[in-house]
A and B are shown apart, each in its own frame.
Chain A
Amino acid sequence: MSLRIASSPHQHSKRNTGSLMRLVCYCTLPGFAAQLWFFGWGTLFQFIIAVAVALGTEAAILELRKKDFEKALSDCSALLTALLLALCLPPLTPWWITALGAFFAIGIAKQLYGGLGHNLFNPAMVAYVILLVSFPVAMTSWLPPQQLMQQGYGLLDSLSLIFTGYSNEGYSLNQLRSGADGFTMATPLDSVKTDIDLGLTVEEAMAKPQFHEGTGVGWFWINLAYLAGGLVLLKAKVINWHIPLSMLLAVSVTAGFLHLMSPDLYASPWFHLFSGGTMLGAFFIATDPVSASTTNLGRLIFGASIGFWVVIIRTYGGYPDAVAFAVVLMNMSVPLIDYYTRPRTYGHKARR
């Protein structure tokens, strides 16, 4: 029998970057579908716009840098960035905001830092933060779930709202957002935050029609769908369990602590876990292999800090959701975390 001698790494995985990225894209599909179901066709168009601009920008900049852009495009990393950005945007965001976001994600946050594998920050989240601080009104204009809306809107309405700002019947986005009583329905996170500022208790805030049993209508199922997709990613060993688990635990513990202190002022951990982008963030965004921590202990710290910041910024910050801010904030700390959590090399003693 012949013994073949192979050099390290002794890892026999047939996966390359492209197949990994595509697998992550497929795993967002349940959440994507749930978003389409509850919030209409807008997200699909956002995805198309974002992908077109992202791939175009990537190709153009790689051409400028005299690199082989066909190879770079086929690894699907730009596609995944565009997909994640599109999933975070309100479905009926004007097209040029999405295009600007995709350009910033690829152009500024990724290629200016040196391309795939060199970016300090998660490109999709940098783009989201840039858009959120630049266009706060447009970026928080989520429609209520379709099931609660006065005016339904279909495929063509979404298209025309994204490109012209008005639906086929001439309703503007703001008119569509108004409920039966003429009040604008905000997202659950936004609405709870505003109501608590107005002096209501959490329980009173959640008596509105867009809530059902302690979470937002629609948002619960969307988060559940992302959770399912994330578990598939875990099972396929695309991501490790460290970051999602520590992040969700930290969200629960922080929110639980606040909730126990004063149940009237702070929403329950259940609400925080299944609102906004918690699950999408935990499984698909914080686990970005480039900008996340690389050691196992570091990953635990990284995830837990994101979870902590998500709840703190959601509760005390100026913007309704906080996953993007938390992720970008912790991306900054990754070099430090990695420095202090270097694993012991085999054969060396532990540092005293």
Chain B
Amino acid sequence: MSEYHELSWQGLWKNNAALVQLLGLCPLLAVTGSFVNGLGLGLATTLVLIGSNTVVSLVRNLVPREIRIPIFVMIIAAFVTIVQLLMNAFTYNLYLALGIFIPLIVTNCAIIGRAEAYASKNPVGFAAFDGLMMGVGFSLVLVTLGGMREILGNGTLFDGMEFLLGDWARSMTLTLFETDNKFLLAILPPGAFIGLGLLIALKNILDRRLETLGAPRPTDKQVQRARVTAES
């Protein structure tokens, strides 16, 4: 049980793919212009991670060590193709909005990193759970960044959720404020870099707080003075 606990903690916070490993930044920075884009890419990445981790773990004893990377890449590419076709079929507008970044999930280093570092050395259950947690951790960052940028740049939140959830979600759009002068910087690529930087900084601050909370407060030391000079 503690292994699952440890995997969750590592995936969601301590070893978060986006905030700590800084892997998969290209889609992270490129598509997080809105909440729904972040959520869509996050879900796709999570599905691919779970699938690839499971299969890599299943075949881990059959794959020759020398050619493991091409094999992993092919497994990942197969799952990316599945996800891409599914999105094309069921969430067509989101598929169009994410564009090239869905096939590019293949090149997301977070996925091959997990396959190589964890799934190829551990049993199926753990590997699948690790994929789930890594994916959820990555998605949370995508969603946070997307929401932040959407609020700042557009004044809305959950705009376009109908692309993912169907027509009823049209009413989910929250308009926080309306303005003629939109804060374009938040939507443009520099906004993604600044936003990600601020998120990483926030995580580091929280980590430091947690450390000082957990650590016992240093007690006042009783200094024992020793006489070092000869008596005069």
Contact = CB atoms under 8 A, between A and B. Distances in A.
Interface of A: 94, 97, 108, 130, 133-138
Given A135-B183, A135-B184, 18 more contacts: A94-B181, A97-B181, A108-B194, A130-B185, A130-B190, A133-B184, A133-B185, A133-B188, A133-B190, A134-B182, A134-B183, A134-B184, A134-B185, A134-B186, A135-B181, A136-B184, A137-B181, A138-B181
Nearest to A139: B181
Interface string B175-196: 0000001111110101000100
Contacts of A130: 185, 190
- Most chain A beta-carbon neighbours within 10 Å: one of B181, B183, B184, B188: B181
Give 9 nearest A-B pairs by CB, closest first: A134-B185, A134-B184, A135-B181, A134-B183, A130-B185, A138-B181, A133-B185, A133-B184, A133-B188
B210 to A, nearest CB: 19
Contacts of B190: 130, 133
Nearest to B186: A134
A161 B183 CA distance: 20
A319 to B, nearest CB: 13
A136 B190 CA distance: 16
Contacts of A133: 184-185, 188, 190
A165 to B, nearest CB: 10
Contacts of B194: 108
B131 to A, nearest CB: 35
B185 to A, nearest CB: 4
Contacts of B186: 134
B75 to A, nearest CB: 41
A39 B230 CA distance: 83
B162 to A, nearest CB: 28
A134 B185 CA distance: 5
Nearest to A165: B180
Interface in B184-212: 184-186, 188, 190, 194
Main SS of the interface on chain A? helix
A138 B188 CA distance: 18
12 contacts: A94-B181, A97-B181, A130-B190, A133-B185, A133-B188, A134-B182, A134-B183, A134-B185, A135-B181, A135-B183, A135-B184, A137-B181
Nearest to A138: B181
A137 B182 CA distance: 10
Nearest to A135: B181
A206 B146 CA distance: 46
- Most chain B beta-carbon neighbours within 10 Å: one of A108, A134, A135: A134
Nearest to A100: B183
A268 B169 CA distance: 57
- Most chain A beta-carbon neighbours within 10 Å: one of B182, B185, B186, B194: B185
Contacts of A136: 184
Contacts of A108: 194
Contacts of A137: 181
A94 B181 CA distance: 10
A351 B141 CA distance: 50
A137 B183 CA distance: 12
A133 B184 CA distance: 7
A70 B35 CA distance: 42
Nearest to B188: A133
B118 to A, nearest CB: 35
A94 B183 CA distance: 14
A120 to B, nearest CB: 13
Contacts of B185: 130, 133-134
Interface string B37-49: 0000000000000
Contacts of B183: 134-135
A130 B181 CA distance: 14
A150 B194 CA distance: 43
Contacts of A134: 182-186
Contacts of B184: 133-136
A136 B184 CA distance: 9
Contacts of B181: 94, 97, 135, 137-138
B193 to A, nearest CB: 11
Nearest to A104: B185
Interface in B135-167: none
A68 to B, nearest CB: 22
B179 to A, nearest CB: 10
B194 to A, nearest CB: 7
A131 B188 CA distance: 12
A94 B180 CA distance: 12
Interface in B73-120: none
A136 B186 CA distance: 14
B220 to A, nearest CB: 22
A310 B185 CA distance: 22
A137 B186 CA distance: 17
Nearest to A131: B185
